[in-house]
Amino acid sequence: MSAGQRLRAGFIPLADATALIVAVDRGFTATEGLDVELVREVSWSNVRDKLNIGLFDAAHLLAPVAIASSLGLGHVKVPIVAAFGLGLNGNAITVSPALHAALKHAADGDIADPMISARALARVVMERKAQGADPLTFGMTFPFSTHNYQLRFWMAAGGVDPDQDVRLIVLPPPYMVESLASNHVDAFCVGAPWNSVAVDLGIGHILHFVSEILQRAAEKVLAVRARWAEENPDTLRRLVRAHDRAVAFVEDAGNRDEVTALLSAPDRLGNAAELCRRTFEGRLKVGPDGIYRSSDRFLMIGRAGAARPDPVQAAWLYAQMVRWGQALLSAEGLATAKATFRADLYDEMLGVRPQLPPGEPADHVGAFTGPAFDPNDVAAHLDAWKIRRR
């Protein structure tokens, strides 16, 4: 593929598409001789399908979807290469004012603690069952999504079976807020900035940043088809280099005004620049009362090794697929999952191998409960949990 030939890349309007958007709109892809057209999509199934059949050359993609596609789960089998990570964390769990009040009433402590909130949720679920009320409904973005697994991990830690005690439904990210406003859901897990939109409208409380549940969680990847990667190694190299420059630009706080202005364009995220600024600062208003919560882990675009695809993260995501009955455990499946996250390509293309800095979890995950994760012993991880599909 010659320099300057057009590429098409799909994305969903979320803050973790920032590196892709900045790489194109700031001219880093053009500097690499690439003419990239960004196509804004509404649903993850659209992004996956258009990538798989070749309508997109690359995509902002849910990390678990890349693995599921490589394994042939839930759709046709199309091996995917993820040579660059677009972000760690960035999701939050937002609940309606009614559910927030119910959790506070049922809690035996501060519901900012995910174990306390999960146990409170179990009490609320039991009370609703005793009253004959409908189960609580939680929105998440896709069956093969970090949002699905993060909700399930948190709920199950408190004794809630996500398949028996509540309803989990799929909603595209841009539709989450409207669904909460119309009482179609009681809560949702979605990426920034949609949690903040719900809070600003006075219809939601951010209960947890997902970084409070998992310290490191691979959220989105820059995905290409494995066959395309094999046929276009130089183009992929240039695409990764452009994203590496974009990540450095985004993580420089001095560029924040320019970055948020790019994101607020109607054909990009289309949200107010202030919402994006809060996201990058990790300082979010968590309730209509104006209370803020801060975390330097809320959305990690490039810092702390966030851009390097981590096979440990791939193994953790595969373990969740097995835990919740989406996949059978096998050595081959685990190997395929790990091989989807191409740290080797990242290292070779950029000539570096960044190590996790001090303060990062030793097991590369840092879950709020349970034993440390061993990517080579998924069976032990599964055996640690009472609630799972067998």
**Tens digit of each residue's pLDDT (9 = 90 or more) over 228-253:** 999 999 999 999 999 999 999 999 99
- Both 83 and 225 in one domain: the answer is yes
From 168, 184, 212, give the residue that closes a domain. 212
- Both 196 and 336 in one domain: the answer is no
SS3 assignment, position 357 = coil
- 80 belongs to a structural domain: yes
- Give residue-wise pLDDT tens across range 174-193: 899 999 999 999 999 999 99
Q: Residue 353: what are its φ and ψ, rounded to 5°?
A: -140, 85
From 194, 212, 230, give the residue that closes a domain. 212
- Both 222 and 360 in one domain: the answer is yes
Tokens of 266: 């109607």
Find, among 387, 270, 390, the residue nearest to 327 by Cα: 390
- 326 belongs to a structural domain: yes
Q: Cα 226 to chain center, whole Å?
A: 22
- 349 belongs to a structural domain: yes
Helical packing angle, 114-131 and 146-157, nearest 10°: 80
- 255 belongs to a structural domain: yes
- Both 236 and 310 in one domain: the answer is yes
Taking a C-beta distance cutoff of 8 angstroms, is the pair 288, 199 a contact? Answer: yes
Taking a C-beta distance cutoff of 8 angstroms, is the pair 316, 153 a contact? Answer: no
Residue 233 vs residues 10, 38, 83, 346, 349: alpha-carbon distances, Å: 20, 21, 11, 12, 10
Q: Cα 41 to chain center, whole Å?
A: 16
SS3 assignment, position 292 = strand
- Both 125 and 239 in one domain: the answer is no
Taking a C-beta distance cutoff of 8 angstroms, is the pair 119, 158 a contact? Answer: yes
Find, among 355, 352, 86, 90, the residue nearest to 239 by Cα: 86
- Both 225 and 208 in one domain: the answer is no
Q: Cα 131 to chain center, whole Å?
A: 35
Cα distance between residue 176 and residue 139, in whole Å: 7
CATH code where residue 360 lies: 3.40.190.10
Taking a C-beta distance cutoff of 8 angstroms, is the pair 49, 59 a contact? Answer: no
Decide if pLDDT at 3 tops 90. Answer: no
Q: Residue 304: what are its φ and ψ, rounded to 5°?
A: 55, 35
Share of the chain above pLDDT 70, in %: 99
Find, among 336, 345, 342, 343, the residue nearest to 378 by Cα: 336
- 252 belongs to a structural domain: yes
Counted residue by residue, the chain has a size of 390
- Give residue-wise pLDDT tens across range 78-125: 999 999 999 999 999 999 999 999 999 999 999 999 999 999 999 999
Q: What are the beta bridge partners of residue 367?
A: 214
- Give residue-wise pLDDT tens across range 276-330: 899 999 999 999 999 999 999 999 999 999 999 999 999 999 999 999 999 999 9
- Both 120 and 230 in one domain: the answer is no
- Both 264 and 309 in one domain: the answer is yes
- 383 belongs to a structural domain: no
The residue assigned the tokens 């649903």 is 43
The residue assigned the tokens 């309007």 is 13
pLDDT band (50, 70, 90) for residue 275: confident
pTM for the whole thing? Answer: 0.96
What domain count does the chain have?
2
Cα distance between residue 289 and residue 284, in whole Å: 12
- 329 belongs to a structural domain: yes
Decide if pLDDT at 353 tops 80. Answer: no
pLDDT band (50, 70, 90) for residue 274: confident
Range of the domain at 205: 95-212
- Both 241 and 338 in one domain: the answer is yes
Q: Cα 324 to chain center, whole Å?
A: 18
SS3 assignment, position 205 = strand
To 5 degrees, how large is the angle CA 24–CA 341–CA 351?
65
Cis ω before 193 (30° cut-off from 0): yes
- Both 201 and 112 in one domain: the answer is yes
Largest CA distance in the chain: 66
- Both 136 and 188 in one domain: the answer is yes
- Both 152 and 56 in one domain: the answer is no
Cα distance between residue 377 and residue 367, in whole Å: 16
What mean pLDDT is reported for the chain?
Answer: 96
Cα distance between residue 216 and residue 238, in whole Å: 27
Taking a C-beta distance cutoff of 8 angstroms, is the pair 138, 94 a contact? Answer: no
From 173, 192, 212, give the residue that closes a domain. 212
- 237 belongs to a structural domain: yes
Residue type, 379: A
